[in-house]
Structure 1
Amino acid sequence: MSLFFYLEKGASLDPMAPCLTFGGVSLSYGEVRALAERVARALRRSGVEPGTKVGILSANDPTAFACVFGIARAGAVWCPINPRNAAGENAELLDLFDCTTLIFQPGFDELVGRIAPQLPKLTTLVRLGAGDETAPGFEDWLDAARDDPAAEAAPPGDVVALVGTGGTTGRPKGVMLTGRNLEVMSAITLMSYPFDGRPVYLAQAPLTHAAGVLCFPILARGGEIVIMAEPDAGRFLELIERHRVTHTFLPPTLIYLVLDHEALDTTDLSSLQCFWYGAAPMSTARLAEALDRIGPMAQLFGQSEAPMMISTMAPAEHRRPDGTVHTGRLSSAGRPSPLVEVGILGENGEPVPRGDRGEICVRGPLVMAGYYRDPEATAEASAHGWHHTGDIGFLDEEGYLHLVDRAKDMVITGGFNVYSAEVEQAVMAHDAVRDCAVIGLPDAKWGERVTAVVQLRPGAGLDPAELIAFVKARIGSVKAPKQVEVWPELPRSTLGKVLKADIRSTLAGR
C-alpha cells in the first residue's frame, strides 16, 4: 500500500477538512493532495522514477511533510533525514541510501552546502523557500513541471521508506520499510487504542521518526495533524486546549518537562483520548503521576525495524476496574500486539520458560524487509527465523512484556546478572531524581560495578550515600549502585535516547 493512500483516504472522507495545521494556519485535505500531485510531477521531471530514493531534511514543517506524499505518489522511496544529526552522519546516510534528490528547509543551507559536494549521486537539490546559489526554490521547481501530465500512480513497491537507525550502537544502518509494514502498524494502532470521532493529533516530537509514522493512521480517519516546529512544554499544553487535541505522542524526557510545567494543572486536557509514550524507559513513579495529572496515557514499544507496535498498552489497561492505578503493569511495555508474534529466546534461539529472561524477538508482517545494502547485518538480525531486537525481557503471567535491558548493557557483577532497567526504576523512585542511566564499569573486586549517573529535578539536592541506601532497601545490595554520579544533563542522541556509550567513555577517561 502506497503512503499516498492514507492522504487519499482522508480526502475521500472530506476534502475540505483540515489536514495539516501549523502556526494557526490549516491546509485542507484537498490542498495537501493537490500539493502532493505537484511534487510528484516535479520529481518525475527531475528524473525520479519508481524506487528512486528521495531525502527530506527539515524540522517539523507542513510543506516538508506534504512532500512525503508527493514522493509516494511518484512511486519513490521516502528517506527522512534528521536535521539534528551531525553533518557527517547525514552525509553518510544520504550516500548509503543512494539518494538522488534532497528537499531541504531554509536554515540548513550551510549543512547542505558542506555535504552535497561529497555526494556525487545527489543530483537534485530543492530548497523549501526562495532559491539561492545552492538550489532552486520550491515554487520555481514545482512551476517548471506545471504543464506536465499528472504523475500516474506507480504500482506500490516493496520498500516505501528508508529509515536510519538511531546510531547509539555504532554506524547507522538503513532500515527498509515496506508498504505492508506501515499498513500493519497503522492497523494495530487503530485496533489497539481509542479513536472516538475524527482525531486531532498534536505532533511535537520529530516527524522524521515515531511522531511522523503515527500520522498515517490519523490521516486514514480524516484527522487533523497540528504540527509544532520545536519542543515547548507551555506551547504544547496551550495547543491541546486550543485545538481540542485527542491524540499525541511524546518520549519520556518531554513528558517530564510537561509534568514540571506550571500550567499543567490549569490546562483543560479533557479532549485527550490517547497520550502515547514510548521510545525510552519511563520512571514508573512519574508515569503514575502522569496518569493522575494528564489522564489517558498509552504505551507503545517498537523500533525502526518493527515500527512502533511490537507491544501496546491502551489507557484502560493502566487502571484496575475500580479506577486505581494498576502499579504492577507500569513497568511493562504492554502486551504483544494482535498482528505480531513475540518470542523470548535464549542464546541458541530456543524459547525460554514463561517468566524467564531472554532476548525479545519478533516475527510477522510488521518486521522490516532488511537493512539496505547490508546482507550480513540482515542475516544476523534475523537468525533462527526471528527478528532480534537486542532487548532483554520477559513475559509475565498476564502476558505483559517487560524490558529489562539492552543485551549489550547488562552488568555482570560478582557473578550475578544485573539488568540496568530494574536499577534505573529503583533510582528514579527517589523524589530528587528526574532521570537516570545505569552502566557497568570495570572493577577489580566485582568484575563490574553497578554505576548510576543521575540528573536531578530542578532545585533538588542529593547525597549519593543516601541514594545507594534508598535503592538497597528496594532491590537489595547486589543490584544497588556502588557508585553514584550527579550530572547536570545526561548525554542524549538526537532522538532523546540516553547515550550510555558516551557515559562509559567519560567515566573511563577519568
Structure 2
Amino acid sequence: MRAIDYFDRGHDLDPRRPCLVDGTSGETMSFAAVRALTIRIAAALHAAGFRSQQPIALYGPNSVTMMAALLAIWRANGQWVPVNTRNAIDANAAYLDYVRCGWLFYHSSQAADVAALKARVPSLTHFVCLDRSYDGDPSLDQFLCDNDMDSLPDFSDPFGKPDDIVGLFPTGGTTGPSKGVVVTNLGWGTMIETLAGALDGKTAAPVSLVVAPITHAAGPVALATLSLGATQVILPGFDAAAVLGAIAHHRVTHLYLPPTALYSLLDAPELADSDTKSLKFFLLVGSAVSPEKLRRAVDIFGPCLCQAYGQVESPMIVTWLPPEDVSAAAAGDRPERLASCGRPTRSVTLAIMDEEGRLLPDGEAGELVVRGVLVSREYHAQPQATAEIRTHGWHHTGDIARRDADGYVYIVDRKKDMVVSGGFNVFTAEVEAAVTELAAVRECAVIGIPHEKWGEAVHAIVVADNIGDMEIIAHAKARLGGVKAPKSVAFVPAIPRTAAGKMDKKALRAAYWTGARMVN
C-alpha cells in the first residue's frame, strides 16, 4: 500500500478518535480533522504547480502541524526528504541540492537556516512557513486559502503503487556526504506492517508519545501506530521531566526513544514520583543498549521494554526483541539476551558473512547481511555505491554480528569501529557493555588509539561519577580478560554525538589519530 493508506486505515477505525495532540498546549485534532487537513494541503500543493513524485523537505521541530504536513506529502504522492535541523547547514544544503529538492515546508524558528538554504540550493523554489508568513513565504493558512479539496488527483491504483518513491532518506554521512536512500512504497509498507504487527495488541486504546525527531525513527513509528488508530502526543524535543509528565497525563502506551534518552530518564530526579504504569511498549532503536541499564529499566518501567535493529537502507525492524524476551532476560532467564537485538523478522532473510562472501555458522562473528523487500531499492543517482553495498547478492549493513543457536542476533560492532590490537579483533560494543555495568558509569564509548607495539590499544571514554580509571580497567579485565579490557580511560562531561544522536566515534578517534595512519 501507499504510505498514506496506513494513516487512512487508522482513520477508518474511528474518525472521531483523537489523532494528534500537542503535548505542550493540549491542542487536539481528530483523525477526521487531520485527514481533511492533509487533503487540503495536498490539493494546495498541486494547485501551486507541484507534480506527483517531486521531493518535498520538512525543516523544523516536532509539532502537530509538522506531522500533518508529513502525512500531506504522502497524500500528494510526494517524496519526503527528511532534514535534520541538528546537521550543519552546509550538510543540509548539499543534500537538498543533491536530491534536487524543490519544495520546503519549514517552521519560523529555523528562518536563519532557511535563508542560507535559499541562497545555496538552486533547486529550492517553493517555500511554506508552517506557523506564520515570513520573508515573503506564505503561512500554511495562506497557502491553503481558496483551494478546492475535490481538485486533488487520485494517485491510488489496485496494487498500492509499489514502485512509487515514498522518500529519499539521507544516510548518516559519518564517512562522507550523505547518500540518498530510495525507499519505495513496497519497502516502506513492509516496514510499517512488520512494525505495526510487533506493536499491536495489549491495549484497545493506544497512545503513542512522539518526542524523538520525526525526521528520524520517530516518523515511521508514528505512522505504524497511526495505522493502529493510536493517538499521537507530540513534544517538540526530549526533556526527561516533560516525557515523564506526558506519560502520566496522557496515559501513554507506546514510546520510542534512542538508548541515550532512556539513560537520561533513568537518571531523572522526577522518575521516582512518576506514574509510568500505562506503558505497554517502550521501544529502543538506534544504537546498542547497555544490558545493565536495560535490566534496570525493566525493574522501573515494567515488562514493556523492547528492541529492534535496522538502518536507513533496511529500515527499523530487521530484527525484533519483544517485551516478553527482555523481561525474561532481566529476571535471569537467558540474561545474555539483554545484549541481543532479537531474531530476524518475517520481512527479511538474515545471514552472517565473512570478508570473502562465505556465510558463517552460528556463533561466529562476521558482517550482518540481509535480503528481502525491506531492503531499499538503491542510492539516489549513485549506481556504484549501490553495487558496492550489494556484493555477493546480499545487502551489507556494515555491522559485525553473531547469531546464536536459537536465532538471536548480537551486534558486536560497526565494521569501521572494530579495534585490532596485537592482531586480535576487539568488538567495542562488548567492552562498552562491560564498563557500563558499573553503577557510577553513565555512558561509555570505546575506540582504538595508536600504540607503538600493538598497532591499536583499547581506550574507553567515559561519563561517570566518583570512580577512577583503575577501577574501570580492573572490572573490565575481570569480565573480558586482558586483551579486551581498556588500557586507558578518559573522563569527559559528555560524549559527542552525530546529528542522528549516535556516538560520534569518528570525532573521538580524530583527536588521537591526527598525523597517524588508522589501523582499520
TM range (shorter): over 0.9
Q: For structure 1, which segment, 87-96 or 312-321, has the greater mean C-alpha deviation from structure 2 after superposition? A: 312-321
Instruction: Show the 5 A alignment for 1:104-503.
Output: 104-146=106-148, 149-153=151-155, 155=157, 156=161, 157-195=163-201, 196-295=203-302, 296-320=304-328, 324=332, 326-456=334-464, 460-503=465-508
Give SS of 2:246's match: helix
SS at match of 1:71: helix
> Identity over aligned residues, as a percent?
39
Letter in 1 for 2:144: L
Task: Give CA deviations for 1:215-260 in whole Å, capped at 9, x if unaligned.
Answer: 1221111110111101111111111111111110111111011111
Matching residue of 2:43: 41
Change (3 A) 1:217 1:434: same
Question: CA 1:432/1:123 → structure 2, altered by over 3 Å: closer, same or farther?
Answer: same
Q: Which region of structure 1 is more displaced relative to structure 2, 312-321 or 475-484?
A: 312-321
Shift of 1:145: 2.8
Task: Give me the whole-angstrom Cα distance separating, in 2, the residues matched to 1:426 and 1:10.
Answer: 43
**Is residue 14 of structure 1 aligned with residue 19 of structure 2?**
no
- Asked if structure 2 preserves the Cα contact closer than 8 Å seen for 1:288 and 1:325, the reply is no
Q: Does the aligned pair in 1 maintain the 2:43–2:149 contact within 8 Å?
A: no
For 1:269-295, what per-residue CA distance to the aligned partner results, in whole angstroms no more than 9, with x for missing partners?
A: 221111001201111111100010012
CA distance in 2, matches of 1:246, 1:303: 25
Q: CA deviation at 1:148?
A: 6.9
Task: Indicate if the aligned counterparts of 2:461 and 2:492 stay in contact, CA closer than 8 A.
Answer: yes
The 3 A distance-change label for structure 1 pair 76 and 275 is same
Cα distance, 1:326 vs structure 2: 4.0
In 2: Cα distance, 1:319 partner to 1:39 partner: 44
**TM-score under structure 2 length normalisation:** 0.94
Q: Any stretches of 5+ residues in structure 1 without a counterpart?
A: none
CA contact (8 A) 2:298 2:330 kept: no
* RMSD over aligned Cα atoms: 1.6
Give the unaligned 5+ runs of structure 2: 516-520
Which residue of 50, 59, 64 corresponds with 2:61?
59
Task: Say if 1:322 and 1:224 are closer, same or farther in 2 by CA, change over 3 A.
Answer: closer
SS across alignment from 2:151 = coil
CA distance in 2, matches of 1:122, 1:323: 54
State the one-letter code of the partner of 2:142: D
Aligned mates of 1:31, 1:215 — CA distance in 2? 17
Shift of 1:136: 1.7
Tell me if structure 1 keeps the 8 A contact 2:422–2:454. yes
- For 1:227 and 1:495, the matched residues in 2 are separated by 19
SS at match of 1:430: coil
When residues 186 and 21 of structure 1 are mapped into structure 2, their CA distance, relative to the original with a 3 A threshold, is same
Q: Distance in 1 between matches of 2:19 and 2:332?
A: 37
What is the identity, as a one-letter code, of the residue corresponding to 1:46?
A: A
Task: Report the Cα offset of residue 509 of structure 1.
Answer: 4.7
The answer (yes or no) to whether the contact 1:194–1:274 under 8 Å persists in 2 is no
8 Å contact kept, 1:99–1:121: yes
Matched-pair contact (CA < 8 Å) for 1:203–1:211: yes
- Any idea what SS the aligned residue of 1:126 has? strand
For 2:446, give the aligned amino acid: V
Give the Cα separation in 2 of the matches to 1:368 and 1:273: 30
2:10/2:229 contact within 8 Å kept:
yes
- In 2, the alpha carbon distance for the partners of 1:508 and 1:78 equals 38
Q: Could you tell which deviates more after superposition, 140-149 or 414-423?
A: 140-149
State the aligned residue count.
507
The one-letter amino acid of 1:469's match is A
C-alpha separation in 2, matches of 1:218 and 1:365: 21
User: 1:2 touches 1:179 (CA, 8 Å); kept in 2?
Assistant: yes
| Counterparts of 2:103 and 2:227, CA distance in 1 | 28
